[in-house]
Amino acid sequence: AHAGSAPHRGINALNAATFALQAINGNRELYREEDTVRIHGIMTSGGEAVSAVPAEVKLEWRVRSSTPEAVVRNSAIVDRCFKAGAMAVGASVKITNIPGYLPIRHDNTLQELFRKNSSALLGESSILVMSPGRNRGGSTDMGDLSHVMPICHPYTSGAVGAGHSKDYIITDYQNAVVNPAKIMAMTVIDLLGDGGVKAKEVLDRHRPIMKKDAYVKFQREQAQIIVYSGGA
């Protein structure tokens, strides 16, 4: 519909999206602090022309939390908000839920082995061990692996600038690339030496959060397409 002469003949998808985003913001008091909830996204399409009522709007949104249960709970809140936006203006919404990364869980035995090798190469004063209760807010596929097998996901120095930004630059190749490679090699040697005694110890001590089949089932359950008509 023409935005100037006949806006009443159209259904403004941009307004529906705006209501949805306001609803998401209005629910932030429901996000528990211990869940480290991060809900953010972008609008990839906001209409075709300024003179036309936006008939279709596309958004990409992400929900991160510190536990799988919190991810599911907060994703449901976001879905509800997008439905509410559609209902507010009588629009329809199609929600395609794609399973995201699970929160990361470090294996203590493996992490301690990596820490000792880091200290041996660089000195104890160069090592920082984060509290197990601290969540950086980001996510990675290592989080998925950590639910089914022992993992350790350390970070290294040697760069400046904000992550995922254009000003992120490697300034110290030795610390960013060479030293981590040495520490990983040292750790692999420790794990596989003496017939793999240390590796077996890591495996024996580890208690997976999910079995592989349970992980696959969980992720498949999150993959769904929801179609909702707010004009019904």
pLDDT tens per residue, range 64-106: 988 889 999 999 999 999 999 999 999 999 999 999 888 888 8
90: three-class secondary structure by DSSP: coil
pLDDT tens per residue, range 28-56: 988 888 888 999 999 999 988 999 999 99
pLDDT at 137: 64
Long-range contacts of 218-224 (CB under 8 A, 24+ apart): 218/68, 219/99, 219/144, 220/99, 222/71, 222/72, 222/75, 222/97, 222/98, 222/99, 222/100, 223/97, 223/98, 223/99, 224/97
The answer to whether residues 100 and 136 touch, using CB atoms and an 8 Å cutoff, is no
131: three-class secondary structure by DSSP: coil
Domain ranges of the chain: 7-102+220-229, 108-208
Q: Tell me what the pLDDT averaged over the chain comes to.
A: 91
pLDDT at 188: 96
The backbone torsions φ and ψ at residue 181, rounded to the nearest 5 degrees and listed phi first, read -65, -40
Task: Examine the pLDDT at 231 and tell me if it is beyond 90.
Answer: no
pLDDT tens per residue, range 101-124: 888 888 989 999 999 999 999 999
The backbone torsions φ and ψ at residue 226, rounded to the nearest 5 degrees and listed phi first, read -115, 125
In the numeric block, the tokens 């019904």 are attached to 232
Indicate the pTM of the whole model: 0.80
The answer to whether residues 143 and 102 touch, using CB atoms and an 8 Å cutoff, is yes
CATH class of the domain at 7-102+220-229 = alpha beta
pLDDT at 163: 82
pLDDT tens per residue, range 156-200: 899 999 888 899 999 999 999 999 999 999 999 999 999 999 999
Confidence of residue 27 (pLDDT cuts 50, 70, 90): very high
Q: State mean pLDDT over 201-205.
A: 93
Alpha-carbon gap, residue 206 to 148, rounded angstroms = 10
pLDDT tens per residue, range 132-157: 666 666 778 899 999 999 999 998 89
